[in-house]
Amino acid sequence: MQPVIEDGPFGFKNVNVEGQAEQSDSLLNFVKELAHLRRERIEIGGGLCNVLACGSEHVLAHHYKSEHAPLVLLHNLTDRPQRIDLSLPAGVKSLDDLFGGETPSLNGGRLTMELEPYGLRWLGRRR
């Protein structure tokens, strides 16, 4: 049985479900949103997945191609910002940030942006 953390910044009085549920930017609410998007995006389970070269060995970039909509997922796996520059798959003309962040600008079929440490972006078309 795991001991309950009582003191310090991660003690149960500071970090708990009730408190996390009330904070829109909490880890709990982020994971809930991530799970919702995962269930909503049938491309992830039913589309063809390809890894994309993005100019950084520290970023996992992959694309789900399906009849529904393109989906590009970017994951910075380091504690440092990473600059990415990738050529978008054929037919991808626009992408929205599915977490509600700033929509990246596309220039001539390329996506260039910076990902924050351990940052991620799920880019696709809003439904």
Q: pLDDT > 90: what percent of the chain?
A: 35
CA 17 to chain centre: 22
pLDDT digit string, tens, across residues 40-68 = 887 787 778 899 999 999 999 999 887 76
Non-local (6+) Cβ contacts of 72 within 8 A are: 52, 61, 62, 63, 64, 88, 89, 92, 95, 111, 121, 122, 123, 124
Residue 51 has a pLDDT of 94
pTM: 0.79
- Please state the rounded mean pLDDT for residues 2-10: 78
pLDDT of residue 68: 67
